[in-house]
């Protein structure tokens, strides 16, 4: 009798454990979109607080944005192509669209960094590149005023010459394309290749700062001209469109561009999420980026989870997930990276001044880190099956063969998971929840090629695993080189070490 009871209890105990543990399987044979990366902007001189900060605080802020060990490991920087008479490279009307323009030097503005965006962009662009950023994206909010129907770089107005908009001064489309090419060449002369260029920002809106109106058909009447000008200049910069204020408008713009036959001249479709967030993919053959979104209303916050408010970290992890999974985005960008303001429009804030400047990371920065540190450019999103209750799961395969699985547990209970198909040879996991102030190693069990782990309540857990299917890839031992500019050797570290960037030229298994 007592033996039977013991056996019965033993079985019940085991069943209980088994039922509570959910198996998640990654299926690398099912592939979705390629990931270009994650990023932010420092437009309108928002980043000048970092440029003017003491060296230690400057390093801290740059590390928060770009380091894969101390920060978010961002890989995309979005710059503004300035259009105001006081900060554009073409402040004066040359007289007509065909007259030779007089461009002012982009590099002459350094002393005016507080009010001039371009040198701040240069500061950020140079540091971003040095710290591993893959893509620099330049975006013109407007053409210079003399090229537009309203004669001003603000308050909307159209580019003279686009569909349905003519000006007595003539058709300025080629002149605007030439101007953007000049901007690209200025950056190139500073050693910075601009990977993508956009020529609109929220073209549904006329605002009191740089703005230019357009619909998709009108954009399509300029896109081939810009594309040809870039090609003729021997540059490889890709053209993007249209940075609409909301996803629904960008869905329409994209369809209009396709109908006009101009999709072939674009490299990326770009949209903001302010007036409408994406819920499903945009119908296009191009990679799609969410290029600007932020909490513009609330205070800067270091709260990971409290009530699910817009400025909390877990909220942003779920938004990034919605972009990557529901909308198949290739990139997700926040509005401002680091700034000297106490609102939630920036991921990092600088307070105080001089040597007492405090640099603080928001919980939203750490939400980005849970993706961007581990899912590196050119990774491919892959299939998964199974998910614990209240938990969202997405997986990505990096070019080095490592597999990144992100799990977001939005529930109040912890969740026990078994991850893998039995072929993991090494694994690490990191988590963010209310108990930690930055991504922290999570203790996991690796046994028989599968990982056992517990997802804390209201957490994001990111697993990085190497599998035996990567055999043929040599494994680098502790302290060995595993990356850096020009490195062609193995980038896979022997367990339990990970490849960490020491500088752009040297990464080491630590
Ligand atoms: C875009 O604007 C042009 C010029 O005003 C107009 O002819 C066209 O109908 C508009 N397209 C859409 C889809 O609204
Ligand atoms: C997109 O186009 C549809 C169909 O023309 C229209 O009903 C809708 O209002 C448009 N949405 C936006 C945000 O422009
Ligand atoms: C998606 O685009 C293709 C090609 O432009 C078109 O044939 C198809 O009807 C579109 N689908 C939807 C759902 O809009
Ligand atoms: C790891 O395995 C040990 C021994 O079976 C177990 O006590 C522990 O709960 C496991 N940890 C996780 C995170 O699954």
pLDDT in tens, 34-45: 999 999 999 988
CA pseudo-torsion sign 485, 35, 500, 464: negative
The full length of the chain comes to 510
Which residues touch 473 (CB under 8 Å, ≥6 apart)?
A: 400, 401, 490, 492
The confidence score (pLDDT) of residue 474 equals: 64
**DSSP structure class, residue 154:** B
Residue nearest atom 3 of ligand 3, based on CA coordinates: 283
Residue nearest atom 14 of ligand 3, based on CA coordinates: 283
pTM of the model: 0.88
Residue 456's φ and ψ, nearest 5 degrees, are -65, 165
Q: Count CB atoms within 10 A of the CB of residue 85.
A: 15
The confidence score (pLDDT) of residue 491 equals: 78
Task: Check pocket membership of 256 for ligand 1, CB cut-off 6 A.
Answer: yes
Q: State in Å: Cα 196 to ligand 2 middle.
A: 27
The confidence score (pLDDT) of residue 284 equals: 98
The confidence score (pLDDT) of residue 484 equals: 84
Q: Which atom of ligand 3 is nearest to the CA of 258?
A: 5
Are the C-beta atoms of 406 and 24 separated by less than 8 Å?
Answer: no
Are the C-beta atoms of 507 and 482 separated by less than 8 Å?
Answer: yes
Q: Which residues is 350 bridged to in the sheet?
A: 359
Q: Which ligand ends up closest to the CA of 285? A: 3
Of 283, 284, 286, 288, best ligand 3 pocket probe by most atoms within 8 Å of the beta carbon: 283
C-alpha to C-alpha distance for 295 and 277, rounded to whole angstroms: 13
Q: Would you give per-residue pLDDT tens digits along the chain (510 residues)? A: 333 333 333 333 333 333 479 999 999 999 999 999 999 999 988 888 898 899 999 999 999 999 999 999 999 999 999 999 988 999 999 999 999 999 988 753 333 333 455 566 778 888 899 999 999 999 999 999 999 999 999 999 999 999 999 999 999 999 999 999 999 999 898 888 999 999 999 999 999 999 999 999 999 999 999 999 999 999 999 999 999 999 999 999 999 999 999 999 999 999 999 999 999 999 999 999 999 999 999 999 999 999 999 999 999 999 999 999 999 999 999 999 999 999 999 999 999 999 999 999 999 999 999 999 999 999 999 999 999 999 999 999 999 999 999 999 999 999 999 998 667 889 999 999 999 999 999 999 998 889 999 999 999 999 999 876 543 456 777 888 888 877 767 777 777 888 888 888 888 989
Task: Check pocket membership of 252 for ligand 2, CB cut-off 6 A.
Answer: yes
Are the C-beta atoms of 22 and 11 separated by less than 8 Å?
Answer: no
C-alpha to C-alpha distance for 387 and 391, rounded to whole angstroms: 6
Are the C-beta atoms of 76 and 118 separated by less than 8 Å?
Answer: no
Q: Count CB atoms within 10 A of the CB of residue 155.
A: 18
The confidence score (pLDDT) of residue 158 equals: 98
Residue nearest atom 2 of ligand 2, based on CA coordinates: 252
Residue nearest atom 12 of ligand 3, based on CA coordinates: 283
Q: State in Å: Cα 446 to ligand 4 middle.
A: 10
Which residues touch 472 (CB under 8 Å, ≥6 apart)?
A: none
Q: Count CB atoms within 10 A of the CB of residue 414.
A: 16
Q: Count CB atoms within 10 A of the CB of residue 473.
A: 15
Q: Which ligand ends up closest to the CA of 256? A: 1
Task: Check pocket membership of 453 for ligand 4, CB cut-off 6 A.
Answer: yes
Q: What are the start-end ranges of the E strands in 1-142?
A: 21-34, 37-41, 76-81, 135-140
How wide is the angle at C-alpha 247 spanned by C-alphas 336 and 345, nearest 5°? 20
For residue 94, give the nearest of 141, 171, 146, 159 by alpha carbon. 146
The confidence score (pLDDT) of residue 472 equals: 41
Task: Check pocket membership of 254 for ligand 1, CB cut-off 6 A.
Answer: no
The confidence score (pLDDT) of residue 421 equals: 65
Contacts 24+ apart (CB under 8 A), 484-493: 491/400, 492/400, 492/401, 492/402, 492/466, 493/426
The confidence score (pLDDT) of residue 398 equals: 96
């Amino acid at each position: 009798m007592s033996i039977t009871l013991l056996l019965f209890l033993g079985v019940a105990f085991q069943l209980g454990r088994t039922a509570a543990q959910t198996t998640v399987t990654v299926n690398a044979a099912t592939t979705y979109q390629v990931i270009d990366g994650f990023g932010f902007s420092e437009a309108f001189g928002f980043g000048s607080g970092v440029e003017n900060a003491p060296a230690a605080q400057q390093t801290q802020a740059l590390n928060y944005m770009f380091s894969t060990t101390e920060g978010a490991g961002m890989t995309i920087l979005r710059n503004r192509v300035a259009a105001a008479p006081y900060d554009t490279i073409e402040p004066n009307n040359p007289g007509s669209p065909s007259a030779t323009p007089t461009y002012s030097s982009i590099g002459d503005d350094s002393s005016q960094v507080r009010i001039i965006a371009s040198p701040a962009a240069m500061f950020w662009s140079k540091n971003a590149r040095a710290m591993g950023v893959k893509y620099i994206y330049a975006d013109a909010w407007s053409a210079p005023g003399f090229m537009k129907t309203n004669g001003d770089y603000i308050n909307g107005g159209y580019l003279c010459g686009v569909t349905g908009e003519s000006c007595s001064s003539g058709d300025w489309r080629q002149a605007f394309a030439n101007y953007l090419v000049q901007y690209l060449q200025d950056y190139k002369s500073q050693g910075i290749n601009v990977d993508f260029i956009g020529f609109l920002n929220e073209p549904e809106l006329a605002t009191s700062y740089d703005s230019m109106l357009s619909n998709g058909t009108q954009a399509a009447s300029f896109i081939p001209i810009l594309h040809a000008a870039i090609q003729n200049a021997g540059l490889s910069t890709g053209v993007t469109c249209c940075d609409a204020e909301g996803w629904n408008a960008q869905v329409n713009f994209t369809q209009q561009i396709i109908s006009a036959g101009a999709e072939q001249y674009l490299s990326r479709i770009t949209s903001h999420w302010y007036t409408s967030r994406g819920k499903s993919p945009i119908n296009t053959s191009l990679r799609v980026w969410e290029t600007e979104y932020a909490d513009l209303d609330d205070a800067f916050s270091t709260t990971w989870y409290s009530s699910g408010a817009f400025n909390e970290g877990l909220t942003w992890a779920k938004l990034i997930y919605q972009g990557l999974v529901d909308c198949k985005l290739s990139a997700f960008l926040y509005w401002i990276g680091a700034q000297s303001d106490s609102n939630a429009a920036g991921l990092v804030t600088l307070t105080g001044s001089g040597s007492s400047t405090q640099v603080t990371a928001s919980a939203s920065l750490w939400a980005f880190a849970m993706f961007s540190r581990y899912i590196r450019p050119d990774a491919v999103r892959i299939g998964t099956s199974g998910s614990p209750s209240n938990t969202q799961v997405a997986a990505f395969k990096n070019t080095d063969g490592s597999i990144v699985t992100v799990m977001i547990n939005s529930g109040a209970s912890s969740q026990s998971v078994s991850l893998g198909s039995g072929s993991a040879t090494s694994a690490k996991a990191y988590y963010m929840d209310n108990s930690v102030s930055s991504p922290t190693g999570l203790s996991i069990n690796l046994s028989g090629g599968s990982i056992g782990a517990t997802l804390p309540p209201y957490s994001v857990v990111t697993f990085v695993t190497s599998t035996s299917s990567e055999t043929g890839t040599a494994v680098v031992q502790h302290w060995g080189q595993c990356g850096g500019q020009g490195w062609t050797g193995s980038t896979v570290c022997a367990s339990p070490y990970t490849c960490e960037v020491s500088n752009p030229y040297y990464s080491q298994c630590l």
